[in-house]
Amino acid sequence: MNIALIAHDKKKDELVQFATAYQTIFAKHTLFATGTTGLRISEATGLSITRFQSGPLGGDQQIGAMIAKNNMDAVFFFRDPLSSQPHEPDVTALVRLCDVYSIPLATNMGTAELLIRGLELGLIEWRNIVKDNGENNGK
């Protein structure tokens, strides 16, 4: 499965801790992340992560493009709901794309725990069927 890891500045430590706790599960998947978040997770865990630009510099849009092409299976996006973000329209667009393409999205620790356990149990395998059938991919 292709998994995106994104975190706002005040949530980066939390996502790094989460990725460290579940690195054995994440290691079984292909990981993508925005710039600094990906670097910090990679340094803390040793996981191989394809890094995009920082979120405000287009990283959110790069992950959104993967979603729109049906090339992303799950997104862990630890958002900071109490701080304004300079790239809020990009954040909103990314969340909307997850809804449009039925991509599981965890925006906080509570949903992240459920999503990671679902990945561990194989409950997201329906994504392979969607990709194989070309659904949401214009085929």
Mean pLDDT value of segment 18-26: 98
Mean pLDDT value of segment 68-81: 93
**Are the CB atoms for 91 and 124 separated by under 8 Å?**
no
Q: Give strand pairing partners of 32.
A: 4, 50
**Cα–Cα distance, 70 to 64 (Å, whole number):** 10
Architecture of the domain defined by 2-131 = 3-Layer(aba) Sandwich (3.40)
Percentage of the chain modeled with pLDDT above 70: 94
Active site residue 99: no
Among the listed residues 60, 80, 90, 99, the single catalytic one is 60
Q: Give the pLDDT band of residue 134 (cuts 50, 70, 90).
A: low
pLDDT digits 0-9 by tens, 29-55:
999 999 999 999 999 999 999 999 988
Q: What pLDDT shows up at residue 91? A: 83
Map out the domains of the chain as residue ranges. 2-131
